[in-house]
Amino acid sequence: MTRTPSPARERVPLPIGIFDSGVGGLTVLRAIAARLPAEQFLYLGDTARLPYGTKSAESVTRYALQAAAHLVERGIKMLVVACNTASAVAMPALAAEFAPLPVVGVVEAGAEAAVRASHSGHIAVLATESTVRGGAYERAIRARRADARVFSQACSLFVALVEEGWTQGPLVEAVAREYLQPLLTEKTRDGLDCLVLGCTHFPLLRKTILQVTGAEVMLVDSGETVARTIAETLEQRQLACVAGARGRHRFLATDDAERFARVGGRFLGAEIALTDVEQVDL
């Protein structure tokens, strides 16, 4: 495996590599690209193996290492783990395997934003089953605010609903009420005031979630907040692109490219041309 970009590659600014289990990480790409318009991105969606959120930590770590290795081989200057599940379980393995490449995940950024947003210190995290099981958000939040109370809720069905394009309507609201009911009790009883959208699919359910929780609960999108960490890391390492015309972003998918382009557009908030998507085998 080639870990160091070749001299020929260094003459061309390298893209930021970003991966997720599927199209959900495009919500993260959207937020980062809005903050860093001069940067180019190479996105990999491991659609053939989605969901990661119900898999064991061992499987998710193996998948994450394979996805990252593929991006590194193509030449990237930084790796963004745009999947909460992979960030929650595989960050130490990724950082060790690809050092000195900077590796940034969404969990630390989400925890930081939650601690900043919450007055009461009572924070809820909505995530996948694997993310909740590993307790990474709780640890990251408590490392920043020792007296924080963290309430975690796995919302696995949200992923399937969003993949189907169902983000609003009575059925989605009924599922959200079922998942969020215990959280509403915490809100009334203990002043829960901040909710972390700890899964890349959940920002698309923002409106429905707020309908259930009430607008006084602050929603934190870990994708949006990671953009700041990335900007800072690029500056520190002198890797930032200076303003100028950048090329098109490129997309890799481990399953059908046509579906990736069609469904992915909803997550990215912009059309994805089929010619910009390549199907790859990890």
Please report, as ranges, the residues that interact with ligand DGL according to CB under 6 A: 20-22, 24, 50-53, 83-85, 128, 131, 159, 199-201
Active site residues: 83, 199
Residue with tokens 């010619």: 275
Contact indicator for 226, 104 with CB cutoff of 8 Å: yes
Q: How far is the CB of 129 from ligand DGL (least distance, A)?
A: 8
Q: How far is the CB of 31 from ligand DGL (least distance, A)?
A: 13
Q: How far is the CB of 264 from ligand DGL (least distance, A)?
A: 13
Q: How far is the CB of 210 from ligand DGL (least distance, A)?
A: 20
Side chain identity at 136, as an amino acid letter? A
Q: Which is nearer to ligand DGL, 45 or 121 (CB)?
A: 45
DSSP string, 210-248: HHHH-TTSEEEEHHHHHHHHHHHHHHHTT-PPPSS----
Q: Is 109 buried (19+), middle (13-18) or exposed (0-12) by CB count in 10 A?
A: buried
Q: Which is nearer to ligand DGL, 17 or 53 (CB)?
A: 53
Beta bridge partner(s), residue 103 = 79
Q: Which is nearer to ligand DGL, 127 or 240 (CB)?
A: 127
Using alpha carbons only, what angle is made at residue 73 by residues 70 and 77, rounded to the nearest 5 degrees?
105
Contacts of 24 (CB under 8 A, 6+ apart): 82, 83, 159, 162, 199, 200, 201, 267
> In which order are the strands placed within the sheet that holds 194-198?
149-154, 122-127, 194-198, 218-221
Q: Which is nearer to ligand DGL, 51 or 102 (CB)?
A: 51
Q: Which is nearer to ligand DGL, 20 or 112 (CB)?
A: 20
Taking CA atoms, 13 is separated from 17, 87, 127, in Å, by 12, 26, 35
Q: How far is the CB of 109 from ligand DGL (least distance, A)?
A: 13
Nearest residue to ligand DGL by CB is: 53
Residue with tokens 């007296």: 147
